[in-house]
Structure 1
């Protein structure tokens, strides 16, 4: 029930934020990104830490400038399946986070800091059922031109796998990674 409430809250936040911006004639913009996730590690309860292969992520965000320093918005990411490096069992996982974001621009500088907070859906091989969990990320970026940016982020995705590898156990999965992305704003 908590998960459903969180998803509804985030959806409401996105709808209200976009609607408020359009009614107030505040110019928002879309930011579409391609990202590479490096150095991932999945912490699976009862199985320990497992390296995760690098993977690609597609990102879509809607941002509305609030002041000259602050920008707020929401986004969604689709992580393409990535394999776990664990004894050749061919397990793979992916997350799809939905999140609110805050973006702080440093004065007179192309650099900025950003953070994400939200909920993600989760899918994993060799499980009978999966459920999503909390998603959060922090990072920094740089405006490369009027409509291009590059970012470096550390993020954590959480989920739960029921019946992992044929066991009757429910295990918590925490996937942390470092991401480099290139974005185009319009």
Structure 2
């Protein structure tokens, strides 16, 4: 299946999501990959990861870019040659790309009960409004993880901790957006965030 969803966040920012149903060969065949990208794909042990990587390149094409337009810095953060900001995600059978004139981050996560087991590792402030007995506890935890993962990708500074440096303002699932903050080295940064659910997955993205 080609493009699954396009979200026009604002006049400078667009999200595109791909549902990965194609085979590895069908995804690879139309692409013109840089040698380092091809080596990276061939070195992946999981076909799921290979297909995720390749589907992202198809999403780039949907934006009018190719693999040649994409490069990564020393922290592993992706960049585009024309200076626009990009963030990339893939999880199981979905991948996503957000491109903007501003710094951005995106994350897609499969909704799974086991996120509750690791909640103590990434939730602190949010315990003020989260209750494990809530019917939507897993969904909201997944949103919080996705927002914090998106913030981490946007900021791309090693040493930042989800639990200590990121916080998500109270929200309900029907809100579909909230505000998040980074509190790091005596500086605070505010971000607008949005989230959506589809087919047992959660996508979250952040922009300043």
- Which TM class, normalised by the smaller chain length? under 0.3
TM-score norm. by structure 1 comes to 0.28
Give 1 or 2: higher helix fraction: 2
When the two structures are superposed, what TM-score results if normalisation uses the length of structure 2?
A: 0.26
Larger RCO (CA within 8 A; separation ≥ 6): 1
Bigger share in strand: 1
